[in-house]
Amino acid sequence: MPDAAPSTEAYLMLSGTLFAIGLVGVIIRRNMITVLMAIELMLNAVNINLVAFSHHLASLEGQIFTVFIITVAAGEAAVGLAIIIQLYRLRSTINIDESRELNG
């Protein structure tokens, strides 16, 4: 029995679901680390879209672009986490509502 690969539509449904979960996480959550993880989830949903369309069109541009997005997302996560740690040291909270004003 041949191994059937999932269709492009299945990847798009997965990507849409992940993006929706990430969007809900950004909108509802008040913890900065959770919001940062939700943003990363949204970026990964976009990466799934790019790779699915790259495979569907038999082109490598989407996969190459995905590698660049992953690289930028890793830097963004590192800088975002450093900002959150510094804000926690300053304010003793990582709640978004309590940290709205950043003036010292």
Q: Which fold has domain 8-99?
A: Helix Hairpins (1.10.287)
Q: Helix crossing, 32-56 with 8-28: angle to 10°?
A: 160
Global pTM exceeds 0.85: no
- Is 45 within 8 Å of 19 (Cβ atoms)? yes
**How many whole angstroms separate alpha carbon 17 and alpha carbon 14?**
5
104 residues of the chain, pLDDT tens digit each: 567 788 889 999 999 999 999 999 999 988 889 999 999 999 999 999 999 999 889 888 888 999 999 999 999 999 999 988 988 888 888 887 777 665 55
